[in-house]
Chains A and B, each alone.
Chain A
């Protein structure tokens, strides 16, 4: 069964609104979770590392005030895209390491379309 879930799977929003995406680790506790973004025909770009109980670590070029990350529990991280614009339309995927950090498990992804 699924190890990581994401909700929603698809969302369409109007420009200027905010959208929250949830990522849940179903099988084990995750002190660290990762958020990726993938544009069409491109690879996964790591946006940020979500740390339970502390601030997220953002990759270079990712605006922390635009992509708000909250990791309030060991099984849930949320990504909020604030004041979304059409260029934020993308496939957002979260992931967690397995318990031995041998394999990274990915959520099913969230397709965001900003109109």
Chain B
């Protein structure tokens, strides 16, 4: 199985700050990488697919990039509703696996 490692596991940040969450795969995944957001009530929302494509309705302050084994999610200017958990997920090979998550917390 491909292991997905997210860093950091938690990140205190301030409103308006630019943040980047990293996701590293245990082997190359050819950009087959998605990002999701989970709110405290458990609601899961897709953000980005195929490394850098923004899901319809997701604000443009979210962006994704990367290649090979290293990928990242960037939020350019944090809004109150962005404080949540974030997960990366690879679909290069089955079983599809998720990173351990990054908790974005208000500083």
Does B associate with A?
no
Q: CB within 8 Å of B: which residues of A?
A: none
